[in-house]
A and B are shown apart, each in its own frame.
Chain A
């Protein structure tokens, strides 16, 4: 069903407020906890609105099979996986076309900031498990994985922050929910950004976009990523501050 312009405005943004009461440039509630998995070398849990994401990092460790080793730097392996119960319809467990793609783009988004040359011939495993999903799970995954990599003591030139921007009902909005993503004219644009260097490490797009909206969307994405980056840094600092006060 194609909605009229007036109806669209009414539905997705009404008097500057969205369906869940947020402003157009407001993120959902984000809580980041560091060091949640004892067995892992580094780990993080991110609750981003209704998204619940665990990230665990193992390594640097011996890279096996040996033909996958790189004699000059470490190999980063990233696995994004959704739990079968993470969405309203059960999804088939294991690899899917979508999870393989997200794993690859997320790995490339994180690789840029890691100093992998410090650990030749090794492998670093990153596992991201989506326990509950509600749009923007790849952004939440990258955010959690970046914090977990820092927690594992991997040398980095900056933390990677990610968030999604988009368009629903003709309005440019930050951090879309599933309901907004399902709008008939929706555009989804996940972005990963390094606030310290101002570099983009991931830009994907789903939907059709006019040139005039692009600058506004990217500007909003940078603003969102900077807010996420601030939360990542606070979460990392909080881990040890708590112990000092005990």
Chain B
């Protein structure tokens, strides 16, 4: 694992770059405090910490912050508020309701629109570092599938750093996600989480 700091020289020669890298006078430098990743000829720096910035088609877990005549203002755990247009908003939603929705538009001035709401009742919402969400999902959703199987919980992962868990073994699932958040940068995570869950299940 190669940790880089902001402004650190990555390459003096021309390289194909992805996120987290900038060039100055033909040399390439890191833009973040993060992990250097080289895959398929592309070099990127994945930041270790940061806030959630919405992208189109992200599934997010939202809290209702305000109910308007023609829609709902939602807190999406980002510096920006989101808006969802709905019919009968005052009948369907109340303050502090929790729902999952999809981002249908996020422009450069960060006007965020949501749609396809699914109201979530019961269960708990936990916070998770937004930049580590891909680790919580795993390759082809392997991690979240495994946690669902071993705990028997219903789980919805929001890309905005919120995870909704419902089921009898909520605490077990919570512990698993805490472990992922702490060890997201260390390889071999899925196996370690599986072991820990199986040990807990036996107890």
Which residues on A are within 8 Å of B, measured CB to CB?
41-42, 59-62, 71, 113, 115, 119-122, 150-159, 194, 196-197, 232-233, 236-237, 240-241, 243-244
Contact = CB atoms under 8 A, between A and B. Distances in A.
Contacts of B79: 59-62, 119, 121-122
B31 A157 contact: yes
B131 interface: yes
Contacts of B6: 113, 150, 155-159
A152 B49 contact: yes
Nearest to A240: B3
A16 B3 CA distance: 39
20 contacts: A60-B79, A61-B79, A119-B79, A121-B79, A151-B49, A152-B49, A153-B34, A153-B48, A153-B50, A155-B20, A155-B32, A156-B31, A157-B6, A157-B7, A197-B24, A232-B5, A240-B48, A240-B185, A243-B182, A244-B185
B109 interface: yes
A153 B81 contact: no
B191 to A, nearest CB: 16
Interface of B is mostly: loop
Given A122-B80, A156-B6, A196-B9, 18 more contacts: A59-B51, A61-B51, A71-B109, A119-B53, A122-B79, A153-B48, A153-B50, A155-B20, A155-B47, A156-B31, A157-B22, A196-B7, A232-B5, A240-B185, A243-B182, A244-B1, A244-B185, A244-B186
B33 interface: yes
B29 interface: yes
Contacts of B118: none
Contacts of B51: 41, 59-61, 119, 153
A91 to B, nearest CB: 34
Candidate in A115, A194, A240 with the most chain B CB atoms within 10 angstroms: A240
Contact of A115 (B5, B31, B131): B31
